[in-house]
Chains A and B, each alone.
Chain A
Amino acid sequence: MRKITYAQAINEATHQAMEKDDKVFVIGQGCLSPWYVGDTTKGLVDKFGEKRVIDTPVSEAAITGVAIGAAMSGTKPILIFPRLDFMYLALDQIINQAANWHYMFGGKVNVPIVIRGIINRGGEQGAQHSQAIQAIFSHIPGLKVVMPSNPYDAKGLLGSAIEDPNPVIYIDDRWLYDEKGEVPEEIYTVPIGKGNILKEGKDVTIVAVSYMVKEALEAVDLLRKENIQAEVIDIRSTKPLDQELILKSVKKTQRLVIADTGWKTGGISAEIAKRVYNNLYKDLKAPIEIVALPDLPAPASKALEKVYYPGKDNIIKTVKELFNS
């Protein structure tokens, strides 16, 4: 099968969705820019025109409301945020409005919107251009949250998000944009709420999210050399969570490390740990460990970034500790 990059997969999924359905449109800051959102919106305006590819004023709250209103009125917007950090300005619209609307109006009006937020860490960008806030959205009833870790899922999950009649937060990561992988040319979907075992192993389960999946897979190869067979689960959706898949794996391995791109306190990792403990506390041979960001804003200096962002070395170290205890 042909290989394309993660960014190309997002771009292709968008092109194909807009070709298939003329109600699908793209709106958000940067979608007419040659660099602001990577190559993910390349070529869209040439094919579909500025009526369906709408770059916007810097008005996050209003533009999000506009996209929500358009969604409930018969079109299918893909709303883009070039940084997740900017989504805080639109939280009333995302949480109070998009997430609640269907429930608070008795199921009469739904909001079929895709809200695509891009994590863009590192590069000495500092605290307000680097955040990974999937935990905030996963906390909210009425939202679904997906985080693809590879090109195949990037295309398939975007397809599912567009087809879904509910608000879906689709979070991609710039650190993955150049990753290449096999991607079918035709439209397909990856189900929301289903995780994926990317590597089988018997000794320990590593549940990873988004970019940390890549780090986990690299860690696994190194751990094999030390005779530790790790199983890697890419959860793909932080909400709904594929609890069944995680429990089945941990039941077998009896050890769990969770690797998240968010902060440690109150994160997705804490939720996974709680569910595994509740169900499998008698089976666990070691404490559940979490590899995540320290509870700090992102620093700018690359000297500090190196310490701030965990990677495969942190995963390896954490896994090994489980066997020493």
Chain B
Amino acid sequence: MVRYKDYHKNLLGRSFLSNYMAENISKEILIKMYEIMLRIRRFEEVVGEYISKGEIQTPCHLYIGEEAVATGVCLSLNKEDYIFGNHRSHGHYIAKGGSLKELMAEIFCKKTGCSRGKGGSMHIVAPEEGLLGTPPIVAASIPIAAGAALSFQIKKEKRVAVVFFGDGAANEGVFYETLNFASLKKLPVIFVCENNFYATHMPISKILADTNIARKAEGFNMPGIQIDGNNVIEVYETAKKAIENARQGKGPVLIECLTYRWRGHVGPDDNIQGTHTDIRPREELDFWKTKCPIKRLKRILKISTPQKQKILKRIKKEIEEAVNFAKESPYPEEEDLLKDIFK
């Protein structure tokens, strides 16, 4: 069974293979997209290396391959807009502008981490940038984001909340309950489903009776859009429109971004069949690598080689500094155990 062929068929006739024109987007934004996606990619690769070395032990769900989603959505948001993540949220944190040092320190479970060593990779936060939390219970942050949107509505603030969740969350009841309530109250919330076709080890065709997740919005009288989640420009344009609509009080939108994680559900392993994790055919991963969101943007991005080198160098330095900061930071002390249970 070669499942990627089904996915491919599913995507044909949609915008997936279209070479989206980037005419309406400023070069400045395009360069930002490139830089943010690269920052996430490189950060995650380095995390993977330290997991393999045994220096990182907290379970890490890497975002490699899916960078366009967080990047395109977060670039459409204002700083005071809120986002909520899930177990796989390093990318959301970085795209919303969180400190790399504090993220790396948290992944090393150090006292200087964004969650002071209490969270690890799966519980990260950057309230100063608008990331209020990333609970790893599947679908848990969906109603919470709707609640943030409700508070904006009550306070008459023109802010928007976004929640990122995976295809697995489309099997949770709370997802449907929230779509209903958010649509009913026209809440300024955007539901971003990152459909990477696997819920842990299970291909979605084996667990969803209808694998079109965007279509589920129809039943709640809400727009649902399925887009190419590996095309950062399409993500950006779709998110921007949805976010502006929500900001004007026109209610929520469900955006299903078709994408793929290059690594397995957890850890740096790629879960290829025939290895001990024996889950996905090699050709499926190879196919998706040809859809690499960074390479695709790079093709249309007209920047000089020295400028690219400058970006690469900057990212390399930032990540090195983050690793050094994390390694040199102390672990939480015994007395920290009792702190923060209550405010």
What residues make up the interface of A, taking CB atoms closer than 8 Å to B? 23, 25, 51-52, 56-57, 59, 61-75, 92-93, 96-97, 101-110, 141-142, 144, 165-166
Contacts and interface: CB of A to CB of B under 8 A. Distances in A.
B181 interface: yes
Interface string B176-204: 01101100100000000000000000000
Contacts of B154: 23, 25, 51-52, 70, 75
Interface string B107-135: 00000011111110001110100001101
A61 B123 contact: no
Contacts of B147: 65-73
A104 B123 contact: yes
A61 B113 CA distance: 31
Interface string B129-162: 0001101010011111111111111110000010
Contacts of A92: 137, 140, 174
Contacts of B144: 65-66, 68-69, 72, 93, 97
Nearest to A74: B151
A73 B118 contact: no
Contacts of A104: 115, 118-119, 123, 135
A166 B148 contact: no
B119 A64 contact: no
8 closest Cβ contacts across the A-B interface?
A69-B147, A65-B143, A62-B177, A106-B116, A107-B340, A59-B177, A106-B115, A69-B144
A197 to B, nearest CB: 26
B115 A141 contact: no
Interface of B: 82, 84, 113-119, 123-125, 127, 132-133, 135, 137, 140-155, 161, 173-174, 177-178, 180-181, 184, 339-343
A121 B144 CA distance: 31
Contacts of B155: 23, 74-75
Contacts, number: 153
Contacts of A57: 177, 180-181, 184
Contact of B140 (A25, A63, A96): A96
Given A72-B132, A106-B119, A108-B115, A66 B340 contact: no
Contact of A65 (B125, B152, B178): B178
Nearest to A27: B150
A19 to B, nearest CB: 15
Contacts of A106: 113-119, 125, 340
B189 to A, nearest CB: 9
Nearest to B189: A69
11 contacts: A64-B143, A65-B141, A69-B145, A71-B147, A72-B132, A92-B140, A106-B118, A108-B127, A109-B133, A110-B343, A142-B341
A227 to B, nearest CB: 45
Given A57-B181, A59-B174, A102-B343, 14 more contacts: A25-B154, A62-B178, A65-B141, A65-B144, A67-B147, A73-B161, A75-B150, A93-B144, A97-B140, A106-B114, A107-B340, A109-B127, A141-B341, A165-B342
